[in-house]
Amino acid sequence: MSEPPVIGTAPNFKSLLRIVDLVAPTNRAVLICGPTGAGKEVIARLIHRLSSNPDTPFIDINCGSIPEHLIEAEFFGHTKGAFTGAVANRVGYFELAGAGTLFLDEIGELPLSLQPKLLRVLEMRTFRPVGSTEVRHFRGRIVAATHRDLQALVAGNTFREDLYYRLANFVLDIPGLDQRKEDIPALVSHFVSLQARQISFTAEAMEYLCQHAWPGNVRELRSLIDRLAVLSDTPRITTDVLTAFLAPSLPAFSLETLADELLKLKGGNKLEAAERLLIDRAMQLCGGNKSAAANLLGVGRKSVERRHAVREDKLTLAQRDLNQARSLVEQSAFSEAIPILERALETLVSVADQDEYRLLHFELHRLRGVSYRSIHGWLDVHAMHSYETALKLGYQLGDLVDLGSLLFGFWTAQLMSLQLGKARATAQEMLQRSQAGGNPNAIGEAHLAMANTLFWLGDNEEVLACLQRGDLLPENGDERIGAQGFDIVGLAMTLEGLTLFQTGSFRRARTTMEKLRLRGEREAALTFNRVISLQGAAWLACLFEDAAQLGPLATMLESIARIHGYAFYQGIGKFFIGQHLVFQDAFEEAEHHMHDGYENYMLRDGGKLFHSFQARKRGELLLLTGRAAESDALVSEALDIAIQSNERAYLVELQIAKARARQAMGDLSGAEGGLRNALSTAQVLGSVPPRIEAATCLAHLLRDSGRQPEALDIMKTALREVETDTPFPTLIRAWDIRHALEVFPGITEI
């Protein structure tokens, strides 16, 4: 079965596809909401196609089509004799899905009795077939869909609240066809191409289609094209032909239907929302004349004025909350800002949709995304929901808002999930928008995004040039708080130090580390900015294997991040504490800290970006404890991820770690090949430290196998470009030049 194409360029649909791109590579549950016929299954299949396991099964189930007494056996399978009619063992949908995607359509129809069992699968990742005591593992992913308001079902006690939040890791709202009418011509063209008999439409007929209400959404449009292709007397479709096949756009509403539609209005208070809708429409029809609107509504003028006054009061309160929250974000007080932002959004639930209100909503959601991201990490579901909402509003507002800064949130999610190609494209779009707008802060953020992406792509020379173009490395090193709520100069200095280290400018990298340490130790600085600087200083101290600096820096980073709730950075602190413990030969405790920091904090709250760095360091620890096979498995997996995602920042270090594990396992041929490959890769990337490390390890291997001249030549070549004034005590022990001089006396001639 060929996959259905995804067609649409409407701004709200493009926003949806942008979120799909971010969500698909994760393995978290997704809830797709939207009206019947809008294409929920098409989006579910797209998520599967863009996932990390696109070749695995896609199993789709309509939860409303299975009899309640059979649904458990259908989901989980059953054994022979488990119930009357169970004449053989049967595999259930969860097992059929394997490591693929299980699409639960119409999840709102799932019987309440089965919901706890589905919740258990989501929480424990295990299930038991009916009639069996054998526990089986679910390795796949759940994508659910519904046209119903699940939160209303939760309030009515017909859908479990805990299950809702398990399913709603990411919520995708699919617009109805009436909200993306600019996509109708492209959809029509596609559906016509599927017909055995080709038909065409006059311009008037196409305009008629674009003005239709489409209560059945895309499915109704496709059904119409199917009928026209078979039943129309002429292949040229005019408006006269359409009127014979298409119901009128504005059917008469019964009172029940009207009430049902009003109950679908957004907001918790449906009565208030319906009242607002009537008043706004009456004011619109009466050209803003309150007396005329009051007459149309059958109420007194004072009633209209009073309700407008209440709304203005709400706007004043919301604006006041926004100003307070913005001030807190600028002070990195994200935890304090969040409840104020939530309160303001709740205040605005029942206001109208004019641009002035959309603008307020836009800024509230943008700051909400910044705050949740800063506390819970780049892929936090609340942050992504706010960024998505803000982006939709931004497209509606057009030139009234700067979308370049908002794109920073999407860029971070792409970067942290290792979608580096998309991250680079988003950073490029940010650069274009910021340069067109001329806002210095936006220009700086865009250059920071591009430099960060280039670092992980291994383009070190361009990183430094990009930081300079963005004026991100001022001489005085002052903080620069942009729209993102953190010090972009501190992060730029971290990138500068890491890049200088990789290109062999060790003295300058060491100087940058000291600057970052001083910034991180300033108690007067904002806490989040201190955390960013401490992260950079600790990272460089780890690379320099400076145990005296790393211990205090890592401890301070972990402590400040823990106290202020910055979970992702708390994990980084834990990881570096573990690395410091390695230097103290406390291997068991070190392994615990490094594993806990990465798996339970960095990976959970941030994403996969640091996978290569942490795998290299944990792989070295496993080698030190004599577990070469475990080291090889860990590093091999990380290498596969790095190659698949084109992440090259620590690619050579992973190749070296794998070669060393092979050598420890007795595979000398594999080790030599791996080290030569690492050496050539380092030369291509211009990475000095791993080039010297690979050369040293390879020279040792060759010397031990009796190939002394070849070993000496390799060391000469590797060390020829090293700074002559490099401070020896700061170099990683694996490529300490003093040690090389002792092992290879002939090297002194260089």
- Domain containing residue 62: CATH number: 3.40.50.300
C-alpha 719: how far from chain center: 41
Residue 232 and residue 93 in one domain: no
**238 found inside a domain:** yes
Residue 164 and residue 189 in one domain: no
Residue 159 and residue 189 in one domain: no
Strand partners, 126: 137
Q: Which residue numbers in the chain have pLDDT < 70?
A: 1-3, 247-257, 262, 264-269, 272-273, 284, 287-288, 308-311, 349-356, 378, 399-400, 405, 476-485, 605-606, 718-750
**296 found inside a domain:** yes
pLDDT at residue 355 in the model: 54
Task: State how far the Cα of 454 lies from the Cα of 456, in Å rounded to an integer.
Answer: 5
pLDDT at residue 251 in the model: 46
**214 found inside a domain:** yes
In contact, 216 and 37? CB cutoff 8 Å: yes
Q: Closest Cα to residue 694, out of 712, 669, 714? A: 714
Of 336, 366, 396, which residue is a domain's last? Answer: 366
Residue 169 and residue 196 in one domain: no
Q: Are strands 170-173 and 30-33 parallel, antiparallel or unpaired?
A: parallel
CB atoms within 10 A of CB 728: 10
Residue 42 and residue 100 in one domain: yes
In contact, 470 and 448? CB cutoff 8 Å: yes
What would the two tokens of residue 331 be? 């002070």
Q: Tens of pLDDT along 396-452? A: 777 667 777 678 888 888 888 888 998 999 899 889 888 877 788 888 889 999 999
Residue 204 and residue 277 in one domain: no
In three-state secondary structure terms, 173 is strand
What would the two tokens of residue 618 be? 């944990």
In contact, 656 and 665? CB cutoff 8 Å: no
**449 found inside a domain:** no
Residue 744 and residue 680 in one domain: yes
In three-state secondary structure terms, 145 is strand
Please classify residue 129 by burial: count the beta carbons closer than 10 Å to its beta carbon, then call 0-12 exposed, 13-18 middle and 19+ buried.
buried
Residue 237 and residue 272 in one domain: no
**2 found inside a domain:** no
Residue 296 and residue 203 in one domain: no
What are φ and ψ of residue 130, in 5° steps? -60, 130
- Domain containing residue 226: CATH number: 1.10.8.60
In contact, 504 and 688? CB cutoff 8 Å: yes
What are φ and ψ of residue 91, in 5° steps? -85, 135
Domain, as residue range, for 261: 255-366
Q: Please report, as a single letter, which amino acid is at residue 234.
A: T
Q: Closest Cα to residue 10, out of 52, 31, 38? A: 38
Of 123, 145, 175, which residue is a domain's last? Answer: 175
* Cα-based angle 22, 23, 25 (whole degrees, multiple of 5): 85
What are φ and ψ of residue 31, in 5° steps? -115, 120
**419 found inside a domain:** no
Residue 209 and residue 299 in one domain: no
pLDDT at residue 255 in the model: 65
The secondary structure of 599-634, three-state, reads HHHHHHHCCCCCHHHHHHHHHHHHHHCCCHHHHHHH
| Total domains present in the chain | 4
- Domain containing residue 672: CATH number: 1.25.40.10
Q: What does pTM read for this prediction?
A: 0.68
pLDDT at residue 728 in the model: 35
Residue 204 and residue 265 in one domain: no
Residue 259 and residue 349 in one domain: yes
**65 found inside a domain:** yes
In contact, 489 and 467? CB cutoff 8 Å: no
Task: State how far the Cα of 715 lies from the Cα of 478, in Å rounded to an integer.
Answer: 42
Of 213, 245, 277, which residue is a domain's last? Answer: 245
What would the two tokens of residue 598 be? 């990465």
